[in-house]
Amino acid sequence: MSLIKQFFNKLLGAAMLLMVTGIAFVSCQDKVDESNMYTFTGQLMSDYLTEDEALSDFLYLVKRVKLSDVSESTVYDLLSARGNFTCFAPSNEAVQNYLDSLYNTKGYDITQIPDSTAEFIVNNCLIDHENSPALLSTQFMEGTIETQSFAGRFVTINFDTITGGRTAVYIDKYSRITASDIEVENGVVHKVNKVVAPTTSSLSALIESTENLQVFSNLLKLTGYDEVLNAPFRDMDYEKNHPETGLGCPTETGDTPVPTPSHRDSGFTAFVEADSLFEQAFGISLEKENGLILNWDEVFPVIEQKCKEFYPDATDPDYKSDNNAVHQFVGYHITNRSVAWNYLLIHYNEQGFGYRNPENLSIDVWCYYPTLTQDRILKLMEGKQIQGKRINRYVSERNWRNFSEITVPREGILIHNDGDNAALNGYFYTIDEILVYDEDVPNKVLNERMRYDICDMLPEQMSSGYRRITSGNAAKGMHMPPGYHSTMKTSEESRVVFLPAYGYSWQNYQGDEYNIVGQYDVTIELPHVPYHGTYEFRIGMQNVADRRGMCQLYFGTNPKNLEAIGLPLDMRIYGENPQIEWEEDNPDDDDYNTEIEKRMRIHGYMKAPRYFGTGSSTATTDNFRNNNRVFRRIAYTGTFDPHKTYYLRMKSVLENTSTQLFIDYFEWCPKSVYNGVEEEDDW
């Protein structure tokens, strides 16, 4: 929604805003310095900025910046209306220092700056939370704030220790909060000592400007990936032409309009070795001057030879070819979605985790990322037994009573949260080992049951920041207009709603779901399998008799000509139906429980996994194996080729256009797991 339309909507409801109470999230464990806390004033944000002489320069800019090119109303007018704004207000000294540095002139006259500079300063300092509360410092957690700023950027929170052992809060690494939690009628003001000024560089340019990443930067240029990472991040046609709202799903959100995404962004995330790691691992010595490598002609042949050893079958001499070893090496470091640190892995309703205590991790979580090297996958993991976030960790033995790790032959590559790593179109993270797709990655790391949340498969949604919506009434969801996703195509008759449902007691993996009604016809591009072999492809189910519908499934490699598989999938029947033959587990008879599973498999069904349950603010302890509405459907069994892309089509077969297509998660399970020496685990 444009700022001007938000402004008029807020004026329509110009009654006094009720003071926000209750805190939605638990703070970082660090204790924030309270010496500069400010008490509630009862003013509007515009009033507070007007009365604080130390913010007069920021006030001047707020009064100057217009809400849009076609509006005479200013940001000041918006801050004079009801709403929920978080403001990181720079002091007069901060504004002056920024202008002096930008224009290389001491005491630069603020009245002489162009509108673009004024807009940059103001729009990066303000967040409109719309119907959700503004943010107090007690709600800050290390990582990215989920709501974009007026400038369409994601603000990053960092903590550090300053003089006297106090904990300081930094916005985008450099802007320190000097006075926090100034509550006003329409939001919260936090004063900062520097203008919030995120980089406008592309990911490629940001890596190039980072002194300790010159080897990787040179490799990006050599392979042509620098041009890929320079791509525009925002779909400007979508900005101008998308509908602002769409209808929700009957019986979930009804015909009440729900918002569409404000933006359709694309981007990248790169996991990058520092120069010192290349020196240590490859036995090279870099000579630099002004940050540039002087002896590149000497060190590159060593790097190239290492890449050829990593990928001996990639023999094309053209560095920009997919069949070149250096090209494959670089491409395996990059995924085609922009993912902030706190969303690299999603914690919500895995066993033992409480979403209001996010720093207290429990069992392992994972996420599979496709890479720019065709057909190859990165696996990220994090959990209480894992020291940090890691890439391609291999756990060969677990305790199946609690999913804990027993034997870990491969610790995985540690990912570092560097800070100052957010580009306009993505993020980079440094890693502590050379990242290679060796033979153990497909044959051991990924030789497992692979479970994907539907959102893991939608790069535009992840890049636009809608992977997790944790504030406000999340169950109301978001309408996704036709054409929004590159990997999920929907017919014009399909009404598509994403329901995050954070904080709600829904029986969904990671809490969220897609809910589609109308005469729907949906085709989803599926992730690649890691190796050639026989797999079961499974669909996570949560049936509801009076809400769900029935659809025909189609499967194959040609999205325009997919073959129908099996009978239509009925999402209205419960487990006791003869088509499923589900029963509750007997806690005292494992053999009988195994017989239930075998009987269900004959019909193409499996019980729900033990891994997740109802999301809990303290700790998830239940699961859905004894829920007669929640299970898995084995949709297709066959031979998969890792070099081919497969598609799933789901088409309604009912005339009733109010019945729902529920999409939660998918599983790829290799034959070595579902028909291996040991019985497949129930996690």
If you write DSSP's letter for every residue of 484-544 in order, what string do you get? Answer: S-SSEEE-TTEEEEEE--TTS----GGG-EEEEEES-EEEEEPPPPSSSEEEEEEEEEE--
Which of 429, 446, 463 corresponds to the end of one domain? 446
Q: How confident is the model at residue 250 (pLDDT cuts 50, 70, 90)?
A: confident
Residue 51, Cβ density class (10 Å: 0-12 exposed, 13-18 middle, ≥19 buried): exposed
Please say if the pLDDT value at position 678 is more than 60: yes
Picking from 594, 584, 615, 583, the residue whose alpha carbon sits closest to that of residue 681 is 594
Structural tokens at position 581:
């033959």
Q: Average pLDDT for residues 506-532, to the nearest whole number?
A: 96
The reported pLDDT for the residue numbered 35 is 44
How far, in Å, are 372, 450, 681 from residue 329 at the CA level?
10, 24, 34
pLDDT score recorded for residue 16: 32
Q: What is the pLDDT of residue 473?
A: 56
User: 517 pLDDT band (50/70/90 cuts)?
Assistant: very high
Distances (CA, A) of 571 to 36, 114, 242, 559, 662: 56, 58, 32, 24, 8
Q: Is residue 297 part of a domain?
A: yes
Q: 177 near 35, Cβ under 8 Å?
A: no
Q: Which DSSP letter does residue 36 get?
A: T
Q: What is the DSSP string of 529-568?
A: PSSSEEEEEEEEEE--TTTB-EEEEEEES-TTSPEE-SSP
Contact 459, 336 (CB under 8 A): yes
Residue 261 is assigned to a structural domain of this protein:
no
Pick from 383, 416, 446: which residue ends a domain? Answer: 446
| pLDDT at site 34 | 43
Q: What tokens does 73 get?
A: 């109303």
Residue 510 amino acid letter: Q
pLDDT score recorded for residue 17: 33
The reply to whether 560 falls in a domain is yes
pLDDT of residue 474: 63
**For the chain, what is the largest distance between any 2 Cα atoms, rounded to a whole number of angstroms?**
81
Question: How many domains does the structure of the chain reveal?
Answer: 3
Task: Tell me the pTM.
Answer: 0.89
Question: 411 and 442 in one domain?
Answer: yes
Q: Is 505 found in the same domain as 380?
A: no
Backbone angle region of 194, left / alpha / beta, with phi > 0 → left and psi within -120 to 50 → alpha = beta
Are 304 and 433 within one domain?
yes
Q: Is residue 431 part of a domain?
A: yes
Contacts (Cβ under 8 Å, ≥6 apart) of 492? 482
Residue ending a domain, among 175, 192, 209, is: 192
In order of 124, 139, 267, the CA distances from 195 in angstroms are: 9, 21, 25
Q: Structural domain of residue 570, as residue ranges?
A: 450-674
Mark whether 412 and 463 lie in a shared domain: no
Residue 260 has pLDDT above 50, yes or no: yes
**Residue 258 is assigned to a structural domain of this protein:** no
**Helix H or strand E segment including 188:** strand 187-192
> Are 290 and 209 in contact, with CB atoms under 8 Å apart?
no
CATH number of domain containing 520: 2.60.120
Pick from 181, 212, 197: nearest CA to 34: 181
35 with 64, same domain: the answer is yes
What is the reported pLDDT for 13? 39
Mark whether 502 and 637 lie in a shared domain.
yes
Same domain, 637 and 597: yes
Please say if the pLDDT value at position 417 is more than 50. yes
Residue 336's pLDDT band, with cuts at 50, 70 and 90, is very high
165 shares a domain with 24: yes
Percentages helix, strand, coil for the chain, rounded to the nearest 5? 25, 25, 50
Residues 176 and 217 both lie in one domain: no
The verdict on 153 and 77 lying in the same domain is yes
Which contiguous run of DSSP H or E holds residue 240? helix 236-241
**Out of 30-39, 109-118, 596-605, which region has the weakest mean confidence (pLDDT)?**
30-39
**Taking 50 as the threshold, does the pLDDT of residue 614 lie above it?**
yes
Q: What percent of the chain has pLDDT over 90?
A: 78
Q: To 10 degrees, the CA torsion angle through 173, 175, 177, 179?
A: 180
Q: How many CA atoms within 13 Å lie on the side-chain side of 311?
A: 23
Amino acid type, 418: D
What is the DSSP-derived secondary structure letter of residue 679?
P
Beta bridge partners, 289, equal 292
Identify the pLDDT of residue 40. 52
For residue 631, tell me if it sits in a domain.
yes
Question: pLDDT digits over 75-131, tens only?
Answer: 999 999 999 999 999 999 999 999 999 999 999 999 999 999 999 999 999 999 887
Say how many C-beta atoms besides its own lie within 10 A of residue 586's C-beta.
12
Domain with 437 in it: what CATH number?
2.30.180.10
Q: What is the C-alpha to C-alpha distance for residues 669 and 667, in angstroms, rounded to an integer?
A: 6
CA atoms of 59 and 50, how far apart (whole Å): 7
Same domain, 438 and 529: no
Tell me if 342 is assigned to some domain: yes
Question: Do 575 and 547 share a structural domain?
Answer: yes
Look at residue 246 and tell me if it is in a domain.
Answer: no
Query: CA torsion sign, 303 to 305 to 309 to 311?
Result: positive
